Structures are given as C-alpha cells and as structure tokens.
C-alpha cells in the first residue's frame, strides 16, 4: 500500500480536515475574524513564514485578478536562502468569516498535498493589513506557455500527460482545482509541469468581495472565462452549478488546446461576453485550420481535446484521460504508424455513471503504478519477439536452400 505523509494513499486528503480540526482552530481563535488564520499558524508552525521572507521586489510584481505575485527569498531551516514566489491577496477578509474559514481550510489542504505534479505550499504569513501572503518556490521557467516559447521543441505529449496526472491526483483526493489554465501550470527546472493556484481561486469567486458581473471589467475572471465549462456559464439561481471534476475535465481540454495553438480558446472571438454566449450555446472551439500539417502526436492531442468538451453525462474522468495518454505514449514509442492507427477506445465508450472509473480510484492506481519505463520495456520485448518469429524461419529457409 502506498503511503503519503504517513497516511494510506487510498485515504482522501479531504478527510484529514475534519470537524475536530475545525473545532480546535475555532477554539484557538482569539480574534472573531482573523483568528482562524492565526490559529492555523499556531497549530502548524511549519507553515508560519513570518520573518523568514526578505528581499521582496515589489517593483517587478505580476498583477492578477485578485492578487499580486512578487519574488523574494526565504531562509530555510538550514539557513540557506532560496527564491520564492509570494502571492499577495488583495482581498480584505476581515468582515467575511466564512471566506476566512474556507481560506484556512484550503491552505491546510494545500500544505498536505504531496505529488510531483503539484506545486508545494511553502507556507504563508500575514501582512500588516492582515491579508495573507502565500509562499511557494519560484519557478524560473514560468508558466507552460512561457516554457514553450523558450523551448519550442518540447514534447507536448509528455507535458500534457503530466498535467493530466496532476489533476487526477487532486480528483482522487476529493479536490477540484476549479481554475485549470496554462497560467496555472508552472514548469520546474527539470521541465516537469506543476499545477498551482487551486482552491483559492474558487473561494475568491464565492466570496462576497468578488462578483461575476464586475469581473469582466475588473479582470477577476479575465483569462479564466474561456476555460470555463458550459454547465458553469449556464448556471442561474434556479439552476445553480458548482465547480466539479467534470468542469475540470472541460478546462483541461481548453488548456491542452492553448498549449497546442499557443492561443487562448476562441481566440477568433474578441469579446468575452460573446465567448460566454458561444460556450452557453454549446459551440466548442473549431479545429485549427493548419491541423493537417501538425505533427502526428499533436493531431492526436487535438482529438483528445474534443472528448473533454462532451456533455457532462458523456464526459469521462481524468483517470481515463491519463490511461489514454499513457497508451498513446507507448504507441508513439513503437512507431508513428502504430500511433497513426491509434483509437481512443476507452474515451470512445459511453461512460456509465454507475460503473464509471470516477467511482473507482484504484483503476487509475493500477495503470499509473506501472512505470512508463516498464511498459516500454514490455513493448520492446514484444516487438523483438515478433521480429524473431518472422526472421528465424526466413533464415532457416535460406540456410536450407544454400
């Protein structure tokens, strides 16, 4: 059994945040508004970076919809400084107890995530204005699109597979990302994708200090609307919708499309309101005009995108997408001909809600647990055996004739 941070891998991370943990936090809250965050730092001192961040360069801040990102340096336990990204939230949570409680929960859960596809939370500290600043390691390669601009020959299939694996890890632990887009995929020094900025974005949308209508002019959702699913944009007071695994799958498809084209989804529609109308009507992005000239693996990734935008009832889980991507990697490893005849046979099936892999986390673990190296070694062995089975009789025949 795989163990993560001292717990079985099959135990969802959300179960770590229980009523007892919440009760303890509330009991230790001295201030009726800001006490939750202070209590979290008090109970989990490893998250408290107060006084450990220095050299912040405010002149080079990166503005966002609800935060500013700056870089600075954090002094580690060994006394060595390392570069970090500091996300300064611009939201005032003093008068929003519910928001503060959700934020505390999200930060706690983020700190417990342990996966090579997830950007770790180093910790946080509270500014003088009582707004929290979240700290994570600085990634010199920047976002996925920054990385692709600097490294145009990157294996996109490998990058996309890594993103899918990260989303799957979250889903299997009961966590919905809610804001999947290229800007929220960073790339490590080793070229590995890292998901970031989950949870907090969802809470910002739900908080009283943020509303959907003002976001179009204020920028809170700018860059996010084009990745939102049809069911989210069709939501109303009568028929509400929430972020879900299904909406994450939709956004994953839009993210892959952006990685393939280096453009935002619906780039041919300039107005965000018109984009909302198009998505609400079920109009998915059209195939790129130069699709036929794309490399084979990119063409196959485009096909994969189209499965992400199916109606909710026909949309597969991220586990299924990871499985298909791994099988596609194997097919390309054998030959382009093998890949050219590849069919997404699992995605082409109509998912059954009762028997779908959504409710069977172990189905992902069974495939994901087999390393790519082992799978490819098996493929090579099969190819060699087939070659020998054909070649040996021919050699024997030639020898006999001689």
Q: What is the DSSP string of 278-305?
A: HHHTT-PPPPPTTGGGS-HHHHHHHHHH
- Please determine, for residue 127, whether its predicted confidence score (pLDDT) is greater than 80: no
Q: Supply the pLDDT for residue 183.
A: 92
Max Cα distance, the chain (Å)? 96
Residue 346 CB burial class (10 angstroms; 0-12, 13-18, ≥19): middle
Q: Are 89 and 207 a contacting pair, CB within 8 Å?
A: no
Percent of the chain topping pLDDT 70: 71
Q: Supply the pLDDT for residue 5.
A: 40
Mean pLDDT, to the nearest integer, of 171-193? 93
- pLDDT tier at 184 (50, 70, 90 boundaries)? very high
Distance CA 20, CA 390 (A): 66
Q: Which of 113-127, 146-160, 328-342 has the lowest mean pLDDT?
A: 328-342
DSSP 270: -
Mean pLDDT, to the nearest integer, of 302-321? 95
Q: How many helices (H) and strands (E) does the chain have?
A: 15, 10
- Please determine, for residue 155, whether its predicted confidence score (pLDDT) is greater than 60: yes
Q: What are phi and psi of 241, to 5 degrees?
A: -140, 150
Query: 30-39: long-range contacts (C-beta < 8 A, 24 or more apart)?
Result: 32/97, 33/93, 33/94, 33/95, 33/97, 33/100, 34/93, 34/94, 34/100, 34/126, 34/130, 36/100, 36/101, 36/103, 36/104, 37/100, 37/103, 37/104, 37/107, 37/126, 37/132, 38/126, 39/104
- pLDDT tier at 76 (50, 70, 90 boundaries)? confident
Q: Supply the pLDDT for residue 241.
A: 72
- Please determine, for residue 189, whether its predicted confidence score (pLDDT) is greater than 50: yes
Mean pLDDT, to the nearest integer, of 230-252? 84
Q: Supply the pLDDT for residue 158.
A: 95
Q: Containing H/E element for 310?
A: none
- Please determine, for residue 140, whether its predicted confidence score (pLDDT) is greater than 90: yes
Q: Supply the pLDDT for residue 87.
A: 87
- pLDDT tier at 9 (50, 70, 90 boundaries)? very low
Q: Supply the pLDDT for residue 286.
A: 92
- Please determine, for residue 398, whether its predicted confidence score (pLDDT) is greater than 60: yes
- pLDDT tier at 37 (50, 70, 90 boundaries)? confident
- Please determine, for residue 8, whether its predicted confidence score (pLDDT) is greater than 50: no
Mean pLDDT, to the nearest integer, of 49-64? 80
Mean pLDDT, to the nearest integer, of 121-136? 82
- pLDDT tier at 96 (50, 70, 90 boundaries)? low
Q: Supply the pLDDT for residue 301.
A: 96
Distance CA 267, CA 257 (A): 11
- Please determine, for residue 7, whether its predicted confidence score (pLDDT) is greater than 80: no
- pLDDT tier at 129 (50, 70, 90 boundaries)? low
How many other C-beta atoms can be found within 10 angstroms of the C-beta atom of residue 59?
Answer: 6
- Please determine, for residue 10, whether its predicted confidence score (pLDDT) is greater than 60: no
> What average pLDDT does the structure give for the chain?
78
Q: Are 231 and 247 a contacting pair, CB within 8 Å?
A: yes
Q: Supply the pLDDT for residue 324.
A: 93
Q: Supply the pLDDT for residue 337.
A: 65
Q: Containing H/E element for 82?
A: strand 81-89
Q: Supply the pLDDT for residue 268.
A: 92
Mean pLDDT, to the nearest integer, of 258-270? 94
- pLDDT tier at 84 (50, 70, 90 boundaries)? very high
Q: Supply the pLDDT for residue 255.
A: 98
Q: Are 344 and 307 a contacting pair, CB within 8 Å?
A: yes
Q: Supply the pLDDT for residue 360.
A: 42
- Please determine, for residue 401, whether its predicted confidence score (pLDDT) is greater than 90: no
Angle between helix 245-261 and 156-172 (nearest 10): 170
Q: Which of 52-61, 186-195, 337-346 has the lowest mean pLDDT?
A: 337-346
Is the model's pTM score more than 0.75?
yes
Q: Are 202 and 47 a contacting pair, CB within 8 Å?
A: no
Domain annotation for the chain: domains and CATH numbers: 1-138 (3.30.200.20), 141-370 (1.10.510.10)
Mean pLDDT, to the nearest integer, of 292-303? 94
- Please determine, for residue 169, whether its predicted confidence score (pLDDT) is greater than 80: yes
What number of residues does the chain have? 402
- Please determine, for residue 208, whether its predicted confidence score (pLDDT) is greater than 50: no
Q: pLDDT, tens digit, for every residue of 358-378?
A: 434 334 443 444 445 555 556
- pLDDT tier at 322 (50, 70, 90 boundaries)? very high
How would you classify residue 120: left for phi > 0, otherwise alpha for psi between -120 and 50, otherwise beta? beta
């Amino acid at each position: 059994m795989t163990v993560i941070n001292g717990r079985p891998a099959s135990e969802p991370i959300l179960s770590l945040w229980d009523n007892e943990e919440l009760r303890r936090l509330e009991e230790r809250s001295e201030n009726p508004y800001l006490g939750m965050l202070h209590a979290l730092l008090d109970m989990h001192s490893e998250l408290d970076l107060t006084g450990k961040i220095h050299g912040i360069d405010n002149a080079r801040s990166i503005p966002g919809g609800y935060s500013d990102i700056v870089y600075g340096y954090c002094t580690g336990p060994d006394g060595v400084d390392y570069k970090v990204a500091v996300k300064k939230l611009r939201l005032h949570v003093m008068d929003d107890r519910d928001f503060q409680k959700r934020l505390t929960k999200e930060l706690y859960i983020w700190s417990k995530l342990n996966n090579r596809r997830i950007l770790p939370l180093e910790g946080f500290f509270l500014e003088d204005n009582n707004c929290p600043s979240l700290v994570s390691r600085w990634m010199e390669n920047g976002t996925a699109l920054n990385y692709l601009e600097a490294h145009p020959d990157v294996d996109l299939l490998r990058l996309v597979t890594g993103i899918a694996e990260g989303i799957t890890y979250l889903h299997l632990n009961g966590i919905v990302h809610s804001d999947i887009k290229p800007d929220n995929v960073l790339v490590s020094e080793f070229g590995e994708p890292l998901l970031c900025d989950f949870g907090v974005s969802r809470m910002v949308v739900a908080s009283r200090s943020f509303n959907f209508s003002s976001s179009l002019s204020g920028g809170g959702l700018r860059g996010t609307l084009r990745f939102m699913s049809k069911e989210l944009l069709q939501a109303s007071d009568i028929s509400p919708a929430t972020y879900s695994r299904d909406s994450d799958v939709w956004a994953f498809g839009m993210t892959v499309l952006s990685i393939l084209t280096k453009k935002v989804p619906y780039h041919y529609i300039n107005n965000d309101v018109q984009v909302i109308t198009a998505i609400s009507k079920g109009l998915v992005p059209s195939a790129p005009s130069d699709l036929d000239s794309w490399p084979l693996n990119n063409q196959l990734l485009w096909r994969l995108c189209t499965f992400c935008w199916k109606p909710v009832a026909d949309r597969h889980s991220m586990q299924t997408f990871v499985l298909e991507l791994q099988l596609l990697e194997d097919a390309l490893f054998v030959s382009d001909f093998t890949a050219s005849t590849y069919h997404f046979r699992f995605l082409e099936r109509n998912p059954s809600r009762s028997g779908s892999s959504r409710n069977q986390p172990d189905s992902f673990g069974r495939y994901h647990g087999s390393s790519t190296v082992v799978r490819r070694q098996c493929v090579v062995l099969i190819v060699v055996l087939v070659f020998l089975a054909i070649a040996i009789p021919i050699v024997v025949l030639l020898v006999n004739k001689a």
